[in-house]
Amino acid sequence: MELHERIPNNVNLSGDKKLQRALEKWLPNYLEWWREMGPEGFQEKDVWLRTATSVEPEGWAHFDYVRMPDYRWGIFLKPAERDARVGFGDNAGQPAYQEVPGEFRNALRRIVVTQADTEPASVEQQRRLGQTCPSLYDLRNLFQVNVEEGRHLWAMVYLLHGYFGRDGRDEADALLERRSGNPDKPRILEAFNQPCDDWLNFFCFTMFTDRDGKYQLSALAESGFEPLARTCQFMLTEEAHHLFVGETGVGRVVKRTAQLMKESEDVRRLGGIPFEIIQRYINYWFSYSLDLFGGEISSNAADFFAAGLKGRYQEQKKYTEHLLVNDVYSLPVIEDGRIVEREVPMRNALNEVLRGEYVRDCERALERWNKYIADEGVSRVLSLPHRRFHRHVGEYAGHHFDVEGNLITAEEFEARKSEWLPTLEDREYVRSLMHPVTEPGKIANWIAPPASGIKGKPFEFEYVRL
Ligand SMILES: [Fe+2]
Ligand SMILES: [Fe+2]
């Protein structure tokens, strides 16, 4: 572990002078981007953050007060396994690729760039949220997510610089030039151009959109391109905390609303967020996040699997058969205005298979939230919309469905849209509740406090010194 270098790393950067120089050149541009687009108004404050100091499963994170621009962003890969092999596809069993396989160079670069682009994008989307934090605990969690997304950008830029030559360096520069939501130079994926300007959006984003990231990273963590696999494996350990922030964040809003419901059906009067609005936010972020998995029927997915580059979720742990040559997958598609089943080769359906894993994971969170409501003695159930609802990518894009997945007309959709998706008025109402609460131990009225603090500290701990 070389922690005291300008760029902390466990990839022996000092042994590769060319790469080290390239990354040291990129570093000031990164810091400039961070100062311009990172959390607004808190750059000089001490934040109680965890920093990766070791990739070992035990104690890889060190907690202390840090000013965010001084955060030790670094390049950490899970240690290499001896005799690593390609785990699936046509080359299963052959030695893992230590270099980018020539014929997949462009495709793989696209995968890395697309993943990389989401990291700074989310920091940009969230940069003003600190000013309306519901508590110091939440403020700290926001910043923890932000600095780690910054580190994930480093992890991906290392791959671009290290394995994609000149093109990779250009892509690394472009990652600092695009801006979330900017019509002239938008981020690559649509969910990452959506505004994230209130905390319900933030919690839904970290619940649903970061969770897509978990599944993409998990699929890439299986990759036969070993540097990518090892990078993603380490990123996943950090990502788990982001999902925790999202899932418990929405859960605490749900819990608070249920508590207020016991006082009055009119939750707004009490300054809470009504379940209808929470449901519409869920519908919105869930559907946008489903799009991130790509088309249901995809030759790219088939090619990546065949090449051993992108596997299924827990490919090695969950499955014994890794070739998928004769398997088929049946999925509903739209033909002549009707929903009909179509069989496709399994390899072409792997985006949909991954999406299925994601949906099951989200359902688990919904069950937990519904339990919070039931525990308060309130009868109300939140649910996920059908996966066909409000899609902009794949087989269902261009058609309209209700939240149960029934095919409806564009007019019907338009007429009922305000039942299903956040209205301008919903967003304004949620925004109207966003006032900063920064006294240690205090919390905004629209959200319940967390069950416990961070790393053994109480909720009252001064997580950010203002
Ligand atoms: Fe990330
Ligand atoms: Fe994340």
pLDDT at residue 329, as a whole number: 98
Residues of the chain with pLDDT under 70: 1-4, 54-60
Separation of 181 CA from ligand 1 center, angstroms? 18
List C-alpha distances in Å: 156 to 76, 115, 180, 237, 296. 11, 8, 18, 15, 26
Separation of 438 CA from ligand 1 center, angstroms? 26
Separation of 246 CA from ligand 1 center, angstroms? 13
List C-alpha distances in Å: 435 to 140, 426, 427, 428, 438. 16, 16, 15, 13, 10
Smallest-distance ligand from the CA of 145: 2
Smallest-distance ligand from the CA of 155: 1
Rounded Cα distance between 272 and 260, Å, is 7
Separation of 411 CA from ligand 1 center, angstroms? 38
Separation of 51 CA from ligand 1 center, angstroms? 15
List C-alpha distances in Å: 218 to 239, 315, 387, 431. 11, 9, 21, 34
Separation of 239 CA from ligand 2 center, angstroms? 5
pLDDT at residue 103, as a whole number: 87
The secondary structure of 169-215 as a DSSP string is HHHHHHHTT--TT-SSS--SSGGGTS---SHHHHHHIIIIIHHHHHH
Separation of 123 CA from ligand 2 center, angstroms? 10
pLDDT at residue 237, as a whole number: 87
Separation of 275 CA from ligand 1 center, angstroms? 29
Three-state secondary structure call for residue 331: strand
Smallest-distance ligand from the CA of 118: 1
Rounded Cα distance between 1 and 11, Å, is 8
pLDDT at residue 135, as a whole number: 98
The helix (run of H) or strand (run of E) holding residue 448 is none
Determine how β-strand 46-52 pairs with β-strand 400-401: unpaired
Smallest-distance ligand from the CA of 150: 1
Instruction: For residue 225, list its beta bridge partners.
Output: 97
Contact 292, 191 (CB under 8 A): yes
Separation of 311 CA from ligand 1 center, angstroms? 19
Tokens 């003003």, residue located:
128
Separation of 140 CA from ligand 2 center, angstroms? 15
Q: Which residues sit with Cβ closer than 5 angstroms to ligand 1, an ion?
A: 119, 149, 152
Separation of 53 CA from ligand 2 center, angstroms? 19
pLDDT at residue 58, as a whole number: 59
Closest CA to 323 of 344, 341, 346: 346
Separation of 366 CA from ligand 1 center, angstroms? 23
Rounded Cα distance between 228 and 209, Å, is 21
Rounded Cα distance between 330 and 262, Å, is 45
Separation of 13 CA from ligand 2 center, angstroms? 25
Closest CA to 233 of 295, 168, 311: 311
The secondary structure of 26-63 as a DSSP string is HHHHHHHHHHHHSSTT-TTSEEEEEEE---SSSS-EEE
Contact 305, 91 (CB under 8 A): no
